[in-house]
Structure 1
Amino acid sequence: MLTCFAPDLTPTQPTYQLSEEESKHAVRVLRLGAGAPVLLVDGRGTLAQATIAEANPKRCVVQLQNRQLVPRRPFYLHVALGPTKNLDRLEWLVEKAVEVGIERLSFVRCARSERRELKLERLEKIAVSALKQSGQAWLPQLDELVDYDKLLPTLDPATTFIAHLDAGERLPLAQIIGAAPRACVLIGPEGDFSPAEIAVALGLGVRPVTLGSSRLRTETAALAAVFTAQVVVEQKTSPSC
């Protein structure tokens, strides 16, 4: 069944007009006609079953039927990373992170960042596409690129972890994530965090972690954190043996 993004869906409206982009895909590309079933998702937890009432390729109208509110998962993951210079790799990360499950993704301008500017429009579209493809109900928050020293004071040190490559004692993220119902994982840019940036984070009480013995690319490290959190979610929600 086709899933369509309906960001302004309200709880009681009987019909909904799809965006021109969604209308074109449903009617012109997939050739769906009146009576065809579709699924609407608003990115805020609502899934709604519907059928096409007016198969117009520019303004397709659907008749709403059953609605379901999907609760948020019991763990809130926030990943903040220095965006990669190669946009393809960053787009890949956004797609896969949404598919696996993440609540917030922030982009941080660090001392060694090669990418100093970032436009979110393309990444937001990729996030929506991944949301529909994976059957997720909650669209994660994507934040504008911000300086590291401005983001850090807004985070709770007790639930924030920094993954860096400098020498020193670091616990595996898998061992300590999940002690609280939320976590923020800081991932450095391709040149890693600078010693000064690491020192500032540690001075605030942020704990250093490792994501494994391999030296990971920025986007791979971020996705490893997402998978680690997903394991925590599965362990919390799976029935005890």
Structure 2
Amino acid sequence: MQLFYNPNITDLEKSFVFDKEESKHIIKVLRKKEGDILHVTNGLGFLFNTEIALASDSKCTVNILSFKKQEPSKYHLHLAVAPTKMNERYEWFLEKATEIGIHEITPIICDHSERKVIKTERFQKIIESAMKQSLHYYLPKLNEPIILKDFLKKEVNGAKFIAHCEETHKNSLKSQIIQNQDTTILIGPEGDFSNKEIELALNNNYIPISLGNTRLRTETAAIVACHSVVFINE
């Protein structure tokens, strides 16, 4: 099944029109024609079965034949991850985490961050593409970048963890995960969190955790954390 994405479609509509860019892709690239069936999600759990009514490359119009809604997860996984020096590595994390089943992502700016200016427009497109490719009906939420100390001021539900590389006592993440519990995990930059940041997180009731016996890159650590939580909740 090929999945399309349109955030504006609702279960109250009988038809809708794709924007010019998506219309051109559907008609010119995929060579879809009137009468063809398209499967569309709005990123809010709905899957719409639609039929092309007007095969225009500027405003492809479809009629909604039926729809269903997927039940949301019983838990919420939020990863707050420092951007990597090379954008490509962070984009890889966004793509794979979306495929695995993450719910929310926040880029955090830390003391040791080498990249402090982030443009989220491309990140958003990567997440949307990964959602469609992996046939998810819920689009992960991508928040705007935020300084870590400001993120720590936010109220967070459920379990709160910080993964750092300091040689202190830490339990493995897998031993701390509880099924159907909301989980927030902090993943630092290449240079790790500063001692001040770690102390601040601990003072805000974040629990220090280990992701294994080897030192992982930022994006690898984020994927290990994401998979661990999702796997235990499957």
Asked whether the two chains share a fold, i.e. TM above 0.5, the reply is yes
- Structure 1 runs (4+) greater than 3 angstroms displaced: 155-158
Q: Say if 2:180 and 2:233, in contact at 8 Å, map to a contact too.
A: no
Write out per-residue CA displacement over residues 36-75 of structure 1, whole angstroms, 9 at most, x where no aligned residue. Answer: 1110100111110011111111110011111111111112
Residue in 1 aligned with 2:80?
80
Matched to 1:75, the amino acid is Y
Matched, 1:226 2:226: yes
Measured in 2, the distance between the counterparts of 1:163 and 1:27 equals: 47
Distance 1:67 1:111, change over 3 A: same
Matched, 1:130 2:133: no
State the Cα distance separating 1:233 from its structure 2 match.
Answer: 1.5
Aligned counterparts, 1:149-228, within 5 A: 149-156=149-156, 159-178=159-178, 181-228=181-228
Residue in 2 aligned with 1:113?
113
Distance 1:81 1:55, change over 3 A: same
Write out per-residue CA displacement over residues 188-227 of structure 1, whole angstroms, 9 at most, x where no aligned residue. Answer: 0110000110011112221100011111000010011110
Matched, 1:22 2:26: no
Q: Percent identity between the aligned chains?
A: 37
Measured in 1, the distance between the counterparts of 2:114 and 2:42 equals: 35
Matched to 1:198, the amino acid is I
Measured in 1, the distance between the counterparts of 2:9 and 2:142 equals: 20
State the Cα distance separating 1:16 from its structure 2 match.
Answer: 1.1
Q: Which runs of 5+ in 2 are unaligned?
A: none
Measured in 2, the distance between the counterparts of 1:216 and 1:87 equals: 17
Matched to 1:81, the amino acid is V
Distance 1:135 1:12, change over 3 A: same
Matched to 1:199, the amino acid is E
Q: TM-score with structure 2 length normalisation? A: 0.97
Write out per-residue CA displacement over residues 124-147 of structure 1, whole angstroms, 9 at most, x where no aligned residue. Answer: 001111111111011111011111
Q: Say if 2:74 and 2:180, in contact at 8 Å, map to a contact too.
A: no
Residue in 2 aligned with 1:54?
54
State the Cα distance separating 1:179 from its structure 2 match.
Answer: 5.5
CA RMSD in angstroms, aligned pairs only: 1.2
Measured in 1, the distance between the counterparts of 2:52 and 2:158 equals: 49
Write out per-residue CA displacement over residues 110-167 of structure 1, whole angstroms, 9 at most, x where no aligned residue. Answer: 0000001101100100111111111101111101111111000214386110000001
Residue in 1 aligned with 2:4?
4
Measured in 2, the distance between the counterparts of 1:109 and 1:6 equals: 31
Q: Say if 2:39 and 2:48, in contact at 8 Å, map to a contact too.
A: yes
Matched to 2:177, the amino acid is I
Secondary structure, aligned partner of 2:78: strand
State the Cα distance separating 1:2 from its structure 2 match.
Answer: 3.1
Measured in 1, the distance between the counterparts of 2:22 and 2:150 equals: 37
Residue in 2 aligned with 1:238?
none
Q: Say if 1:158 and 1:205, in contact at 8 Å, map to a contact too.
A: no
Distance 1:152 1:75, change over 3 A: same
Count the aligned residue pairs: 234
Measured in 1, the distance between the counterparts of 2:142 and 2:63 equals: 31
Secondary structure, aligned partner of 1:154: coil
Measured in 2, the distance between the counterparts of 1:57 and 1:156 equals: 45
State the Cα distance separating 1:85 from its structure 2 match.
Answer: 1.1
Measured in 2, the distance between the counterparts of 1:157 and 1:42 equals: 26
Secondary structure, aligned partner of 2:209: strand
Q: Which runs of 5+ in 1 are unaligned?
A: 235-241
Q: Say if 1:98 and 1:130, in contact at 8 Å, map to a contact too.
A: yes
